[in-house]
Structure 1
Amino acid sequence: MKWLPEPRTFDALTERHGERYKWLLLLVVGIGTVAGVLSTSVFNVAVVALSSEFGLGQDRVQWAMTGFMAAMTLSMLPAAWLLDRIGFRRTFIGSILLLAAASLAGSLATAFWFVVVARVLQGLATGVLQPLAMLVVLRMFPPQVQGRASGVLVLGISSTPAIAPAIGGVLVDRFGWEAIFLLNLPFCAVALAMGLFLLPLPREIRKGRFDFLGALLLSVATLALVEGVASLQGNGLLDPWTLGHFAVALVLTGGFAAYARRAEAPLIDLSLFRQRTFSMGTIVAFSYGFGLFGSTYLIPVYLQHALGYSAAAAGGALIPSGIALTATTPVAGRLADRFPPKWITTIGLVLFGSSFFLFFLYDGRVSYAELIAITLVGRIGLGMILPALNLATVRELPAHRLAQSTVVVSYVRQLGGVIGIAAMAVFVEWRVAVLGPSAVLQAYAQSFCFLGLVILASVVAACLMQHQPAEQRR
């Protein structure tokens, strides 16, 4: 089509735009990533409206969120193969087109099953987009400024969940639930337009076969594990349904490990885990995802269910911590350029985990001001972790392994998030059942303690990560 810009090579685009080209690339991919993050963070505000529209219970409406999260997690697995097979440009543009089409279709849905399908398609696109931005940082920027670039990237991504629910709530109130599907379309349009002009043609295309068997084994194992954790709430640990899913997850994971060792081009090259920094980094990434998504679920429920705040008051209490998170990420990125990233990550983990222990020490009884202060500490820690963790985990690997290693870290982090939400819901219900309805505050206090233990346990893994000075890297 002559009205589309002619794709250019990387060298031609670099010659045209000069030193700013790498920042333009980061901007393009960052906007696309924000479009995906919007789909993740804004949906919850429409749950009540969807329940009313389709005459469903909120548990049924959550299928749309569960389908999105599962699709996003699993679609990360083929991302590295797509990059090798069709290149960065086509992978990004194709994902943006799918996200935009799914969003538009969702806004036109007249039946709930169509909403679920649209959400699953949104999840598939978002999962592929997630690792791409960090790959730009690692491939385009020299080691001395990768922390700064990572901080700028995470600044945009982390600010989205802080403001998206508020904007989404206004749109739902004024225009209905359909508006939440349209919120990311302007970002998709800008990312697509800029991507057509700025994303380069691939330097080479590798025609390796996709590892369908490995993807099937790992996908079913992932779904079985998530369902096993979720079923703890209704069935208990010793229920055959729960144990069966855990058994399936264990067997298939073992089967994948055995298969991957013999496969010529496995979905995940297990030799990556022989590098200590990478293996320890994936442990921290899982813990980070568990804590981020688990606390994102737990804190609002605690504020309304245990402390009795309205939705507006609960949202207002989290605004300062959202601002702190947004402000911390670029600072943490710059610090990661000057100091070993593993120590920035470790400090962030300590702050993040300690904030949950403060809830426990107060036995769940905190004032509004104390609540704001505690969440501020936690979100400052959270803002320190991600820019430094991404760099510490993968940037010392050879260049040809960056795509797969970045995808693996993103997948593990997202898996931790899915399990974190399910695990915290189960843990709260269990503690309320054991302690009784009159001890709701203590139940939430113990839940925060559990979450803090998960985060602080990963401090050991962070300390075991190795550091190579920037001047010694590739």
Structure 2
Amino acid sequence: MTQPINKKILMPVMLLGSFLSILNQTILNVALPDLMTEFDIHATTVQWLITGFMLVNGILVPVTAFLMKRFTTRQLFLSSMGLLFVGTFISAIAPGFEFLLIGRLIQAAGAGIIMPLLMTVVLVVYPKEGRGAAMGFIGLAMIFAPAIGPVVAGFVIEQYSWRWIFIGMLPLIMIVILLSFKFLVNVSETAKTKLDVTSVLMSTIGFGALLFGLSNAGDKGWESAEVLIFISIGLVFLALFIRRQLISEDPLLNLRVFTYNMFTNTTMISIMVMMVMYADMILLPIYLQTSRGFTVLDTALLLLPGALVNAFMSPVSGKMLDKFGIKPVVIIGLLFTLPAIWGVTSLTETTSYTHLMVRTIFLRIGLSFLTMPLNTAGLNALPTALNSHGSSVTNTVRQVAGSVGTALVVTIYTARSSSHAAQLTHSNSSLSTSQLAQQSTILGTNDAYRFMLVLGIIALVVTLFMPKNVNRKEDGALKEKKLTARR
């Protein structure tokens, strides 16, 4: 490293860029009902604006491990912000749904680079003893940005239109680009390395086909040949991808990180937590606006207190991780999260606005104890040589779990709503069309939340069997000896 690293300047610039990248991930959530009406599309189609974004993130994150070897921190960060700017511009002027989706996918390409880059920078410039607090502040971007995104969008849409969400973002991204040119320095050395194109194609086809199949199951049914074919193709290519990573000397995604028990445990819990978190972000606005008739601004105001609590709790949970370890922190988080999910498994057409706001606050408190502490504890269990790959695996799992969870929950919601509509029509023919639509979608929402509750319970069971914190230096040395012996 030829330049001194000033963390007080480096981290705020990168955090601001990360915040804007992740903000785009959920900023359209409250606008989905309006977009469904404007473009005359169904929930299973419009949700691609969210799941497509996360899928591209998940596909690109493994490539970031290669990119961080090949290019400098400065080059990658500026490229990320450039892609985010181009994607945002296309979204702002999009004449139809297809162009809006293209813009979103370009945005996702930028966002997919920045988060693993930021986490790797933290691993380089902070000692293990201080990473919990540092990662807690990253939690402001990882948790607060997705939470505050719908709130910002709600205010903008109420006053203007959904296009102004993107128009307003453009000058902010440009400010980050200008600050990066002036203040950003490199924190790691580069090396000439080759990209495993075959692995990239396998992961792209695998994740893409699986998500496409899951997304279409809501409309076409789980017994549909098309759905089963795409899910099967996805699973086959993912199996081939995993096999290639395990036998490769220089894998795109080093799956040997899963030989570390703490990393494996935290990753398993993270999968379920991310599925719950992102599914709630898309399901709650659809319930509020489609089933209950609340406005976009009403939805934004309901989400605002939880977002603010989230901002306060993220650094606190990071400090608690440094002091008490991961297991008690995760248990605290789940003890808030599980009741919050259970509180929306029996929604009706009269469920109070206050009840929904309070449960959202509880959910956000719980998530602040889960997301970044789990990531940090998993990465701390790895030796330095696996830091970049651990970061890539963590972020890949987070994005793919979020996209699959969202697609799966929307599929359950759509399929169960249709099933309930048929049952209600048969048992109560006096219902009007609007009453039938309202009751069936509410019942479908309840079924989707019950599925999320099951995921939360499984996460709690895994946590209870999580091993106590180990001596990370000794554990790392032991694993390194085992890996060396195998080679």
1:137, distance to aligned residue in structure 2 (A): 2.4
Structure 1 unaligned residues grouped into runs of 5+: 1-8, 15-20
Which stretch shows the higher mean deviation, 159-168 or 140-149?
159-168
**1:85 matches 2:70:** yes
Please tell me the residue identity of whatever aligns with 2:453. G
In structure 2, what residue type is equivalent to 1:254?
A
In 2, distance between residues paired with 1:171 and 1:217? 40
Q: Superposition pairs for residues 344-383 of structure 1, below 5 Å?
A: 344-360=329-345, 366-383=351-368
The 2-side partners of 1:355 and 1:112 are apart by 34
What pairs with 1:127-166 in structure 2 (closer than 5 Å)? 127-166=112-151
Q: Determine what percentage of the aligned residue pairs are the same residue.
A: 24
CA RMSD of aligned residues (A): 2.8
**1:349-404 Cα shifts (integer Å, max 9, x gaps):** 23212311233367786433322222221111011112211111111211121111
CA displacement at 1:31 relative to structure 2: 0.7
Q: Distance in 1 between matches of 2:254 and 2:142?
A: 29
Which secondary structure state, in structure 2, belongs to the residue aligned with residue 131 of structure 1? helix
Is the partner of 1:76 in helix, strand or coil?
helix
Counterpart contact for 1:353–1:451, Cα < 8 Å: no
Matched, 1:261 2:252: no
Q: Which moved more, 1:443-452 or 1:226-235?
A: 443-452
C-alpha distance in 1 between matches for 2:157 and 2:217: 33
Which residue in the other structure is 2:448 paired with?
A: 447
Query: What secondary structure, in the 3-state scheme, does the structure 2 residue paired with 1:445 have?
Result: helix
For the 8 Å contact 1:217–1:253, the answer to whether it is kept is yes
CA shift, 1:32, in A, is 0.8
TM-score, structure 1 length as denominator? Answer: 0.87
Q: Which residue in the other structure is 1:168 paired with?
A: 153
Q: Residue 447 and residue 64 in structure 1: after superposition, are their counterparts in 2 closer, same or farther (change >3 A)?
A: closer
Q: Deviations over 1:210-246 (max 9, x none)?
A: 1111111111110111112112101222211111112
Q: Which residue is 1:125 aligned to?
A: 110
Asked if the contact 1:342–1:388 (Cα under 8 Å) also holds between the matched residues in 2, the reply is no
C-alpha distance in 1, partners of 2:58/2:311? 24
Change (3 A) 1:290 1:103: same
Alignment partner, residue 164 of structure 2:
179
Change (3 A) 1:421 1:337: same
Kept after mapping to 2: 8 A contact 1:225/1:245: yes
Equivalent residue for 1:43? 28
How many angstroms apart in 1 are the aligned matches of 2:157 and 2:445? 30
8 Å CA contact 2:26–2:50 kept in 1: the answer is: no
Structure 2 unmatched runs, 5+: 425-435, 477-487
1:353 and 1:453 in contact (8 A); partners too: no
Q: Distance in 2 between matches of 1:77 and 1:369?
A: 42
| CA distance in structure 2 between the partners assigned to 1:72 and 1:129 by the alignment | 10
For the residue of structure 1 that corresponds to 2:71, the secondary structure is: helix
Q: Mark the CA change 1:465 to 1:104 in structure 2 (over 3 Å): closer, same or farther.
A: farther
Q: Shift of the alpha carbon at 1:305?
A: 4.0
User: Does the residue aligned with 1:397 lie in a helix, a strand or coil?
Assistant: coil
Q: Using structure 2 for the length normalisation, give the TM-score.
A: 0.85
1:246 aligns to 2:231 (yes or no): yes
1:70 lines up with 2:61 in the alignment: no
Q: Quick one: structure 1 residues 209 and 58, their matched pair in 2 at CA, closer, same or farther if it must change by over 3 Å?
A: same
Give the number of equivalent residue pairs. 458
Letter in 2 for 1:456: I
- CA–CA distance in structure 2, aligned partners of residues 444 and 117 of structure 1: 29
